Amino acid sequence: MSTPIDYLLHLADNAVVLGQRNAEWCGHGPILEEDMALANVSLDLIGQARLLYQRAAELMGGDATEDKLAYFRGPHEFRNYTLLELPHHGALVGYAAADRDYATTIVRNFLYSALMVHVWDGLQQSADPSLAAIAAKSLKETSYHLHHSRDWLVRMGDGTEESHARAQAAVNHLMPYTEEFWTTSPAEGAAVAAKVAIDVWALRPAWDALVNDALAEATLTRPNFHGYVTEGKVGLHSEHLSYLLGEMQGLARAHPGATW
């Protein structure tokens, strides 16, 4: 059995990019409890990324390390969903300055964790024992991420007029990006064929049911979408990823080979 390395990088890149995004709230949360909660979610995601990068580096051999995979690849080499690299606000160019919007953060975390609870659950039966063990650990963490984001989604949607409007705007903005979940990349296809991964397309009914139930309780409307489907997981990203990686990778690139 051979584990497709690009599939591990897809999973790892998802986790590290969203972990980096959520970490931007550290010290800026709307309330102290949420400041701590988002920091903990970020730590969980970066921990998942580390385990996946370590497994990928082990399979790659040579001088590959988790740090090299995280800090010394360019944007076109990352395989994360485009959804996860977007800033915490509505559609703006990458260099624009805007206040962070907590509704955008919550909706994205909900949409992604609603997928990943099913992905990690399925990957517990992966033919790669190391990935199966990572999945078992990650499932517990992601179940909390889902509970946290769903609770806030309902509170915002079924809250004040302003919180409802913000939540609905975030849903309208982010929902189209979830169409990328249901396309199959070459890495995913190879991993499914090797019985290392599960077919994500088969998870769509369960994801739809989870999302529709939460939106209904939050009195939010699911938008219809027909148009371009993003392709971050094959290396075609928005301009936002380069800005995120510039910040995340800057120190390591400024002092390559340094020991910390």
- CB neighbour class for 177 (10 Å; exposed up to 12, middle 13-18, buried from 19): buried
Does domain 5-254 fall under CATH 1.20.140.10? My reply is: no
- List pLDDT tens digits, range 169-207: 999 999 999 999 999 999 999 999 999 999 999 999 999
Compute CA 244 distance to the chain's CA centroid, rounded to the nearest angstrom: 14
Q: What is the pLDDT of residues 94-133, one digit of tens each?
A: 676 678 899 999 999 999 999 999 999 999 999 999 999 9
- The DSSP secondary-structure symbol of 222 reads P
Q: Summarize pLDDT for 123-150 with one digit per residue, the tens.
A: 999 999 999 999 999 999 999 999 999 9
Q: What is the pLDDT of residue 231?
A: 94
What is the value of pTM for the model shown? 0.95
Q: Which helix (H) or strand (E) holds 110?
A: helix 102-123
What are the angstrom distances between the C-alpha of 83 and each of 72, 124, 175?
Answer: 22, 25, 9
